[in-house]
Amino acid sequence: MEARTRSTPKIREVRKRDSRIVPFDPTKIADAIYAAFRAVGAGDRAVAEELASAVTHFLEEKFAGSLPGIEDIQDQVETVLIEMGHARVAKEYILYRQKRATLRETLQVRKEHGRQGEGITYDFAAGEADASRGDAIDPLPEVDRGQEGISKWHKSRIAAALIREADLDPELAGEIASAVERKVLNSGVRRISTSFLRELVDNELFERGYSAKLHQQAPLGIPKYNLESLIFGTDLKEGFTFPKTPVEIRNAIANRVLHQYSLEEVFTPNVADAHREGRIFIHRLSDPTRLARLHWRLPPPSAAAPAGRRLQEPREAPGSYLDLRDFFRRLWHLAHFFSEEIRLSNLSNLLIDPALHSTSSSEKARAVLDRLGQMDERPAIALELDLLPESQPWLEGILAYSQVRPGRFLIALRLRREVFTRPGGGAALDAVAALYERGERMEFLPPAEPRVGDGADSGATPGQPRHELLDGTAAKITLNLPRAAYRSARESKRTIELELEEVADLAVRGHLERRRFIERLSANAENPLWSLTGRPEGGAVVTPGNLHFTVGLVGLNECVKLLSGEDLHIESGRSNAGGRLGLELVKVIERKLRREERGLGIRLELEETANVGPLRILERSDRRKYPDLIGEVERGRSLEWGALYTDGARLHRMAPLDPLRRVEELAGYLKYLRPAGGITEDLRELRGSPRELLVSLLEECMPHVA
């Protein structure tokens, strides 16, 4: 017997029912025989192993040079049991085998296409699972697409999904798939949803200690209770309840899922945890596949010839103007890739196109604004103008347009001294004052742009004319300065400088991780940012290498108060130690960013954060985690001040300083950071003041900000 076994080729592999080839394991035969013995209350493990050896011997003789199938092995088990005098056991084995076959035929899987929270969709007859689309590839003809997508059970699809998505070894994937199948068959259910099946797979991974693999399969979604709260307007986490439109419901659900994805996949745990803990705030987590802002500096008329040949095919006078048809075509295309703002500057070229048949420049500007105003459901459009007499046509066009659609555009006016001295400047200032009094969204910018990398022109891509610049900006990461001050005060060995460098380092690391994700989004023509950032050399509008990454500041005023006991800005006549400390802290952060910029090759900008959403989120986080921090901030303030953190480097709005003093205090920071919302604050008393007060304020600002 022993000699004959050595001369017979051993069985090394077997063919499964789904045609997979797997290693031959005699112990599984022994397990099946032992289970049949136990079912009739007889036999022991040793007898089962002897019978399994006999089965293996006959298989090796019968299938020498070929692969036996599972059914062949089971047939041989029945034969050996009967011939060895174990008829009762053979009968139990046959009945068990028939029961399993019947269950396989009747068990069905309900496919839940597009269901939120489904990490991998197991389509057990239609091919491999597809984790990205939520449906399945369908190469097999036997797929049953009737009855709401019901298909037959195939265990191999579980193993295939585990191999591909969880990167499991094929043998281990097969074991887990078999274990899940046993649970399903033993439960007696005849129909199972893919979401419940996924939970069974996850539970099996967890029980076996594969937590890392489980993370790769972790679903992203919303519990059913929270989903219904969103749909029916009872979600108390939003702080308010009101009926939502179907589009708002869809967007809210998508935002929450993408928010989870960003924190788990775009950013590393250290950066994501810093956001969750409130040390930093990562903006636009719910929109990771788009950039935040675009600044498009249009070519001036004097430089339009090369730009014209590059941008369009003009109908007449080639290269002498910017063709509006191509401009809007490009603008509509770009709008798909930005979530916050598209800023247009150097607008004079848009009024030269002879397709504008209006007689006056203001009417031409109004016609362009009408086209721009049609960009609903897109990023905000900001119009950046030099405050000069030459801007009056645009200001008059905006005045006329705002009577029909108020608040449609953000008007960013860059201060120029000439507007106060040149003829026609008074009319431009009158138009500005009228827009301001009307409540239009306006920013007043310093005369010169703040430092951007190696200069404003550094945003040009190779081969792009320097007179046409498109600067893209990724979403901001904001530093919680009050939290930094509190942490440094609690630990005697941690200085505020060390804490600021550490939190700034978290922001820089977050931006590097976001840049890597943007590079993935731009990697090939199938990815969403390819036509914006990933096209061949010379064709990309913005590239990951020349994107701007902004680091925002929140609550410098409260940071200084926690450190020194004084507000950032104080009334005249007293020592301004708080102001000097605040400026030094901003310099610490700015120097850190410049070092990282040189060492890492990433373009970093320091900017105020004025969005009330992040302010409130960070304040609530600190109030919940460090109530004594908020208590220190509130000390010395009356109830009407509230405890809301202040924008960037600004003084609290309840502080008793006039608008000009506020600009004077802010002026010292302008060489280090970009002011959010401009140099003047949007104060109610200023909006309601006469035109002369605004004009006087702008004129008096010039010596401080020029």
DSSP string, 495-539: -HHHHHHHHHHHHHHHHHHHHHHHHHHTSSTTSTTIIIIISSTTT
Q: What are the backbone angles phi and psi of residue 194, rounded to the nearest 5°?
A: -65, -30
Q: Is the pLDDT of residue 8 over 60?
A: no
* Distance separating alpha carbons of residues 433 and 366, to the nearest angstrom: 19
Alpha-carbon torsion 430, 432, 433, 434, what sign? positive
Q: What mean pLDDT is predicted for residues 97-121? A: 52
Q: What is the pLDDT of residue 18?
A: 63
3-class SS of residue 375: coil
Is a pLDDT exceeding 50 seen at residue 488? yes
What is the model's pLDDT at position 10? Answer: 78
Please give the Cα distance from 648 to 668 (Å, whole number).
13
Segment 183-241, tens digit of pLDDT = 777 766 666 666 667 777 777 777 777 766 555 556 666 777 677 777 777 655 554 45
What backbone phi and psi angles, to 5 degrees, belong to 84?
-90, 5
Torsion of CA 228, 234, 236, 239, to 10 degrees: 130
List of residues 6+ apart from 178 with CB closer than 8 A: 155
pTM comes to 0.70
Predicted pLDDT of residue 285 = 94
* Mean pLDDT score across all residues of the chain: 78
Maximum mean pLDDT: which of 78-82, 92-96, 145-149, 642-646: 78-82
Predicted pLDDT at 449: 67
In angstroms, the CA 566 to CA 581 distance is: 10
Q: How confident is the model at residue 639 (pLDDT cuts 50, 70, 90)?
A: low
User: What would the pLDDT profile of 319-359 be if each residue is shown by its tens digit?
Assistant: 445 788 888 988 998 999 999 999 999 888 788 777 777 67
Q: How confident is the model at residue 106 (pLDDT cuts 50, 70, 90)?
A: low
User: Which phi and psi angles does 356 have, rounded to 5°?
Assistant: -85, 105
pLDDT in tens, 511-566: 999 999 999 998 888 889 988 876 655 566 787 778 999 999 999 999 998 898 88
What pLDDT shows up at residue 79?
86
Judged by DSSP in three states, 415 sits in coil
Distance of alpha carbon 520 from alpha carbon 288, whole angstroms: 12
Cβ atoms of 321 and 308 closer than 8 Å: yes
- Among 2-16, 227-241, 269-283, the range of highest mean pLDDT: 269-283
* 233 Ramachandran zone, left/alpha/beta (phi>0; psi -120 to 50): left
Using CA atoms of 244, 246, 249, 255 in order, give the dihedral in degrees to the nearest 10. Answer: -130
Predicted pLDDT of residue 575: 56
What per-residue confidence (pLDDT) applies to 113?
45
Write down the pLDDT at residue 216.
58
pLDDT score of 456: 36
Beta strands in 584-687, from DSSP E residues, in sequence order? 603-608
The per-residue pLDDT for 420 is 92
In this structure, what token pair is assigned to residue 583? 């400026």
More confident residue, 48 or 410: 410
295-321 confidence digits (pLDDT tens): 998 887 654 444 333 333 333 344 445
Burial zone of 376 (CB within 10 Å; 0-12 exposed, 13-18 middle, 19+ buried): exposed
Answer whether 411's CB lies under 8 Å from 442's CB. Answer: yes
**What are the backbone dihedrals phi and psi of residue 443, each rounded to the nearest 5 degrees, phi first?**
-130, 140
pLDDT in tens, 385-418: 999 999 999 999 999 999 988 989 999 999 999 9
**Higher pLDDT among residues 237 and 159, named by residue:** 159
What residue type is 699 in one-letter code?
E
- Does the pLDDT of residue 129 top 60, yes or no? no
**Around 642, how many Cα atoms within 13 Å sit in the side-chain half-sphere?**
10
Token pair recorded at residue 141? 């003809």
The sign one gets for the Cα dihedral 101, 106, 112, 116 is negative
**291 vs 361, more confident:** 291
CA distance linking residue 311 with residue 505, whole number of Å: 40
Give the Cα-Cα-Cα angle 28, 33, 35 (nearest 5 degrees). Answer: 95
Whether residue 487 has pLDDT greater than 80: yes
Residue 465 has pLDDT above 70, yes or no: no
Q: What is the mean pLDDT of residues 415-432?
A: 92
Strands (E), 200-348: 280-282, 291-297, 338-345
DSSP letter string, 388-427: SGGGHHHHHHHHHHHTTSTT-SEEEEE--GGGGTSTTHHH
Q: What is the mean pLDDT of residues 652-656?
A: 79
Percentage of the chain lying above the pLDDT 90 cut: 29
pLDDT for the residue numbered 503: 96
Does residue 477 surpass a pLDDT of 90? yes
Stated as kind and residue range, the H or E segment containing 22 is strand 21-23
Tokens encoding 386: 């030099």
Domains contained in the chain, CATH given: 2-105 (no CATH), 107-219 (no CATH), 221-264 (no CATH), 293-445 (no CATH), 473-678 (3.20.70.20)
